Amino acid sequence: MSKQELLLLDCGVSPFCGRVKIALAEKGVEYESKEENVLGGKSELLLSSNPVYKKVPVLLHNGKPLCESSIIVQYIDEAWPSPPLLPTSPYERAQARFWGDFIEKKVFDGGSKIWKSKGEEIEVAKKDFIETLKQLEGTLGDKDFFGGENFGFVDILLIPLTTWFYSYEKFGDFKVEEECPKFSTWVKRCKQRENVVKALPEPEMVYEVVLMLRKMHGVE
């Protein structure tokens, strides 16, 4: 398959784009990518490919656009079945989707509350966020990855979000490693994977973006 058949509309600091890049790398699939200036001016291609949300990532496969990162990852898993990212049994797939949905609802927005808040609200946001991580720790248990022995769907959805944790730690004055050591161990395990490291930005770079976003939101 030639590279031109797959085009990713991307943004380096976006953890949602990170998910798609990791999934494609896990499948050994080649693709083109185009960096979008999401704050400065979105391209015509992005606006026409994702008219509903106007957001990255968008994956164009033979010109057909796919939107929403968790849906894109599932699509990648179905279009290129090997190695599988989701389990085979319907019950285990449902569990993977459940935790994927939990992550969607709680992690990024919960973390954002920390850097968007002022005063006492920061403490509340931090407590809620740590509680979310503890729930994820609970479901991870003693397993290497959320799906068991193999890196998979839930890990792919979650690991890119951790590049924003450094920023939450700075503004919330806490350390994920101290509050949730098992979670931290899982993060380190994922970061030993080349596909993960290559797909994700440095947390310091994300921090610069968060500083800018804070100004835009009038938090500074």
Partner 1 sequence: MEEVKLLGFWASPFSDRVIWVLKLKGVNYEYVEEDPYNKTQLLLQRNPVHKKVPVLIHGGKSIAESSIILEYIEETWPQNPLLPQDAYQRAMARFWIKFGEEKMATICAVFRTAGAEQEKAIEEATELLKIMEEKGLGDKKFFGGDAIGLVDIAFGWLACLYEVVEKVSAVKVLDADTFPQLHAWIQNLKVVPVIKENLPDHQKMVGHLKRRRETHLALPNCHN
Strands (E), 131-211: none
Single out the segment in contact with partner 1 by CB under 8 A; choices: 18-26, 98-106, 118-126, 204-212: 98-106
CB of 154 to partner 1, least distance (A): 13
* Residue 145 φ then ψ, to 5°: -130, 170
CB of 210 to partner 1, least distance (A): 24
Q: Which of 52, 119, 149, 220 binds partner 1 (CB under 8 A)?
A: 52
Q: Which of 12, 42, 45, 75 binds partner 1 (CB under 8 A)?
A: 75
Residue 182 is a binding residue for partner 1 (CB under 8 A) = no
% helix / strand / coil in the chain, to the nearest 5?
60, 10, 30
Single out the segment in contact with partner 1 by CB under 8 A; choices: 9-17, 70-78, 169-177, 186-194: 70-78
Distance separating alpha carbons of residues 192 and 197, to the nearest angstrom:
7
Element (H, E) at 33: strand 32-35
Across the beta sheet with 64-67, the strand order is 32-35, 6-10, 58-61, 64-67
Q: Which of 2, 91, 118, 141 binds partner 1 (CB under 8 A)?
A: 91
Distance separating alpha carbons of residues 13 and 35, to the nearest angstrom:
10
Residues 15-34 that bind partner 1 (CB under 8 A): none
Residues that bind partner 1 (CB under 8 A): 51-52, 61, 64, 66-68, 71-72, 74-75, 78-79, 90-91, 93-94, 97-98, 101-102, 135
